């Protein structure tokens, strides 16, 4: 199955994650190999019309540097503190297994050399401290996993390029499930995947993702994390 795992998408999650009160507990639904569960371990190069800002983890520059074009007001100042992280997938991918990693590489379009290099570099970061990935359908696994979130952390449930794999009625069912959970919900999905949340005149329907926070659209994003454009409705501060 298509399980493309794009660490670059952390660049469009970071403007929101970095503004939440931490420490954070991250649950990624449809995590593939879990590369997006490590927004705190990568470096970022945010390009605005007036210059570039580099954001590094507290320990110094990461071997993974993600480039993203962004509006000036949305540039994050830092990476969040992540106290706990876990993912759910129908078929979790283990980046320590060369055959499985080769499959993720096969899923990258041939001309996307930068993404191929990023996959290998991010996989090495993740392999050094592998995530907890639970195998199963998100509807079956999410409720019990939420119960494990440590006290004193801010739960964030997020997903990126996942809901398109669900039938339309299942997407609605998922929205109801996640809205009932006490946590912040980030959705980064194709512009047509959640029509009610994404029906915005500012968003071209083709080729863009829309980032929503608790169902409110906050940004139009590049599908591989290469761009972040805040929408007029961006609620500041979060
Ligand atoms: C295109 S990948 C995206 C991976 C990652 N979120 C990212 O942005 O790089 C979609 C993932 O969702 C998983 N998935 C699809 N339907 C699912 C379901 N019902 N429950 C759990 N995982 C699911 C797939 O197995 C796949 O790994």
What pLDDT is stored for residue 204 in this prediction?
58
138 Cβ closer than 6 Å to some ligand 1 atom: yes
1 within domain boundaries: no
Which stretches of the chain drop beneath a pLDDT of 70? 195-206, 233-238
Atom of ligand 1 at shortest range from CA of 170: 19
Range of the domain at 90: 7-230
Pocket test residue of 10, 30, 163 for ligand 1, highest count of atoms within 8 A of CB: 30
Q: Considering the chain, what percentage of its residues have pLDDT values greater than 90?
A: 83
24 within domain boundaries: yes
What pLDDT is stored for residue 232 in this prediction?
72
What pLDDT is stored for residue 236 in this prediction?
45
38 within domain boundaries: yes
235 within domain boundaries: no
36 Cβ closer than 6 Å to some ligand 1 atom: yes
104-144 confidence digits (pLDDT tens):
999 999 999 999 999 999 999 999 999 999 999 999 999 99
Mean pLDDT computed over every residue of the chain? 92
Which one, of 165, 147, 163, lies nearest residue 155 by Cα?
A: 147
Q: Domain containing 78 — which CATH number?
A: 3.40.50
68 within domain boundaries: yes
Locate 126 and state its tokens.
């993740």
What pLDDT is stored for residue 237 in this prediction?
36
What pLDDT is stored for residue 92 in this prediction?
96
Sheet harboring 154-160: ordered strands across? 51-55, 43-48, 65-70, 227-230, 216-221, 209-213, 184-190, 154-160, 24-29, 82-89, 132-135
57-69 confidence digits (pLDDT tens):
999 999 999 999 9
Which one, of 209, 205, 173, 204, lies nearest residue 189 by Cα?
A: 209
Count up the domains in the chain and report the number.
1
Which residues have C-beta within 8 Å of that of residue 38, sequence separation ≥ 6? 7, 10, 82, 85, 122, 125, 126, 131
Cβ neighbourhood burial of 233 (10 Å; 0-12, 13-18, 19+): exposed
For residues 3 and 38, what is the distance between their CA atoms, to the nearest angstrom? Answer: 17
φ/ψ (deg, to 5) at 201: -65, -25
CA of 74 to the centre of ligand 1 (A): 27
Atom of ligand 1 at shortest range from CA of 35: 9
For residues 59 and 83, what is the distance between their CA atoms, to the nearest angstrom? Answer: 16
236 within domain boundaries: no
For residues 162 and 49, what is the distance between their CA atoms, to the nearest angstrom? Answer: 31
160 Cβ closer than 6 Å to some ligand 1 atom: yes
What pLDDT is stored for residue 215 in this prediction?
87
238 within domain boundaries: no
CA of 49 to the centre of ligand 1 (A): 34
CA of 4 to the centre of ligand 1 (A): 8
Radius of gyration of the chain (CA): 16
Let me know: does 133 contact 31? Beta carbons within 8 Å.
yes
């Amino acid at each position: 199955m298509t399980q493309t795992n794009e660490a670059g998408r952390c660049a469009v999650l970071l403007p929101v994650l970095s503004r939440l009160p931490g420490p954070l507990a991250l649950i990624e639904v449809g995590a593939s190999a879990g590369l997006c569960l490590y927004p705190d371990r990568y470096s970022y190069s945010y390009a605005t019309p007036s210059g570039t800002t580099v954001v590094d983890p507290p320990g110094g520059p990461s071997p993974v540097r993600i480039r993203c074009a962004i509006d000036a007001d949305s540039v994050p100042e830092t990476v969040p503190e992540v106290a706990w992280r876990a993912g759910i997938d129908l078929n979790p991918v283990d980046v320590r297994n060369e055959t499985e990693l080769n499959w993720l590489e096969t899923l990258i379009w041939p001309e996307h050399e930068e993404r191929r290099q990023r996959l290998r570099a991010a996989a090495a970061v993740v392999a050094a401290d592998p995530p907890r990935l639970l195998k199963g359908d998100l509807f079956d696994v999410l409720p019990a996993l939420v119960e494990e979130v440590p006290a004193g952390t801010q739960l964030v449930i997020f997903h990126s390029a996942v809901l398109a794999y669900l039938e339309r009625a299942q997407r609605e069912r998922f929205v109801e499930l996640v809205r009932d959970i006490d946590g912040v919900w980030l959705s980064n999905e194709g512009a047509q995947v959640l029509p009610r949340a994404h029906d915005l005149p500012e968003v071209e329907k083709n080729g863009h993702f829309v980032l929503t926070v608790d169902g409110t659209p906050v940004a139009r994003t590049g599908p591989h994390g290469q761009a972040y454009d805040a929408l007029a409705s961006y609620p500041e501060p979060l």
